[in-house]
Amino acid sequence: MRRTYISPEFKFQGVFGTLNMEEESSFFGSKMLEIEDSIDLSDDVIVYYENDKNEQLDLQREFDFPVKIYNVLDDKVINHKLTLNAFQTQIEKLNYAKWDLNINIKILLRNYFFSTLKTNRTFEGVTNDMTLNKNVDSSIKNYIERNVLNRYELQNVDLYLVPIDLLTNGAYKYKNVWDPTIKQEQYKLTKFNTETDINGNTLRIFFTQNFVASQYAFRYYFDLKYRKL
């Protein structure tokens, strides 16, 4: 065998580009994911197919596996919490009660992008072995975190409230009901304050119900709107 006289520390070994999920610009340009100018996290249902290893390699074969469905409404239910504001008097609580609505906006946006990339088969052909942690889904979420989320900002929040008379059967004081069917202009609440944490993970909405809490609970719903920077 002929010797090359090349020291081992100077040998190069090819690796998959998918081991690094962060897009890096170069002098000659770089690839860039095409994204929407605006996103409305409302009531979309996104459907996609993949194999039992969460890989997308052959669509025809993947039809044999259970379809994957992402529902924005279901995700919003999981990723929000409505609580009474702790800094209010008992009189305020009995009359026009103050509420805090906490929404995990970063998780919601990431999950939406993840499902969108899946349904568009953006990473088709990438197997688990071609990723750094041997997991395609984890690597796609890593890609979204590094390259996509920072290209959007929250533009607007639409909040809807409808009173529930406590004399109604099944209605309870301070037991408010999530209800997407009330999304109508006449029920939109316009007076509220918002606050986003320093990392952009959570949005807090502070509002006062505009009907007496000792007589009414309420149904509520919200939509989130984003725009590209």
Q: Give 57's DSSP letter.
A: S
Q: How many CB atoms lie within 10 A of CB 110?
A: 17
Length of the chain: 229
β-pair partners for 216: 165
For 88, half-sphere exposure in the C-beta direction (CA atoms, 13 angstrom radius) is 18
What's the pLDDT score for residue 22? 63
Q: Give 32's DSSP letter.
A: -
What's the pLDDT score for residue 16? 55
Read off the pLDDT of residues 184-226 as tens digits, 9 standing for 90 and up.
999 999 999 999 999 899 999 999 999 999 999 999 999 999 9
- Rounded average pLDDT over 162-168: 96
What's the pLDDT score for residue 23? 62
